Amino acid sequence: MGIKVTWLSHSAFSLDIGGKKVLVDPFLTGNPLAAANHGEIAADYILLTHGHGDHLGDTIPIATRTNAPVIAPVEITNWLKKQGVQRVHGQNSGGSFTHPFGRVKFVQAIHSSSLPDGTYGGLACGIVITAEGKNLYFAGDTALFSDMRLIEEMGIDVAFVPIGGNYTMGPDDSLTALKLIQPNAAFPIHYNTFDTIVQDAGEWARRVTNTTTALAIVLDPGSTFTVD
């Protein structure tokens, strides 16, 4: 059956896992590349890597409309409860939990995390989703770090890595990251949304092909591919 992955641009994804719709970092309003509207998108679960506005995005209106639980670092779920979002599940870095759609592990990221009102957001994280026999690694916003080699030991099928630079890894460090993670396929995120993170994804894909063992998957926002 596999996992259907739709890139909504930036770090935002809609996953279809056995008919359950899982949103990741749903930044749509204010995102010039957004391939969906927060008032229409389906959601059974919402996952957040950290609290920055370009990841929290439209979480509150989507959770309010759909009643989808929000799975996020615990400081963020505590803050969301104060905003009126009651269906939440807090986790923290290193912790795994089996949700109805699959297992979710929060892993290290090197980045900051705060909520839009300045509230401390806990550790910024990456997320590994295990479902349908596949491991998907959403790196979130992160710098390169050598312990990505520990994520490799999980056996990653697809790694979603930032390439934009300025706030996160740029193309050079993302290639080093892929050599540590050794995924079967790599998907670039967090680029071209703002003028500070403009990158050439086609050139990145050529470098991935020439210097790593991963298949580079570069798609336009709104496109879907299947992991199976």
Binding site for Mn ion (CB under 5 A): 54, 141
Whether the Cβ atoms of residue 50 and residue 73 lie closer than 8 Å to each other: yes
Point out which residues pair with 13 in neighbouring strands: 7, 24
Could you tell me the end-to-end alpha-carbon distance of the chain, in angstroms, rounded to an integer? 7
58 binds, among Mn ion, Ni ion, none (CB under 5 to 8 A by kind): none
Whether the Cβ atoms of residue 132 and residue 20 lie closer than 8 Å to each other: no
What is the distance between the alpha carbons of residues 28 and 10, in angstroms, rounded to a whole number?
9
- Whichever of 55 and 134 has its CB closer to Mn ion, that residue is 55
> Closest distance between Mn ion and the C-beta of residue 197, in Å?
9
Q: Kindly write out the interface string for residues 11-50 of this chain, putting x where it contacts Ni ion by CB under 5 A and - elsewhere.
A: ----------------------------------------
Q: Which stretch binds Ni ion (CB under 5 A): 69-77, 81-89, 136-144, 212-220?
A: 136-144
- Whichever of 52 and 134 has its CB closer to Ni ion, that residue is 52
21 binds, among Mn ion, Ni ion, none (CB under 5 to 8 A by kind): none
Which residue's C-beta sits nearest to Ni ion? 52
- Residue 52 binds Ni ion, judged by CB under 5 A: yes
> Closest distance between Mn ion and the C-beta of residue 167, in Å?
6
What is the distance between the alpha carbons of residues 96 and 107, in angstroms, rounded to a whole number?
9
Dihedral of the alpha carbons of 180, 220, 34, 42, in degrees to the nearest 10: -90
> Closest distance between Ni ion and the C-beta of residue 49, in Å?
8
Alpha carbon distances (Å) from 156 to 118, 146, 222: 34, 16, 23
Whether the Cβ atoms of residue 1 and residue 17 lie closer than 8 Å to each other: no
> Closest distance between Mn ion and the C-beta of residue 28, in Å?
14
Task: Say how many residues touch Ni ion, by CB under 5 A.
Answer: 2
The DSSP letter of residue 62 is H
Whether the Cβ atoms of residue 183 and residue 155 lie closer than 8 Å to each other: no
- Whichever of 51 and 102 has its CB closer to Mn ion, that residue is 51
What is the distance between the alpha carbons of residues 109 and 99, in angstroms, rounded to a whole number?
22
- Whichever of 23 and 185 has its CB closer to Ni ion, that residue is 23
Q: Which two tokens stand for residue 208?
A: 């991935």
- Whichever of 38 and 52 has its CB closer to Ni ion, that residue is 52
- Residue 141 binds Ni ion, judged by CB under 5 A: yes
Contacts to Ni ion by CB under 5 A: 52, 141
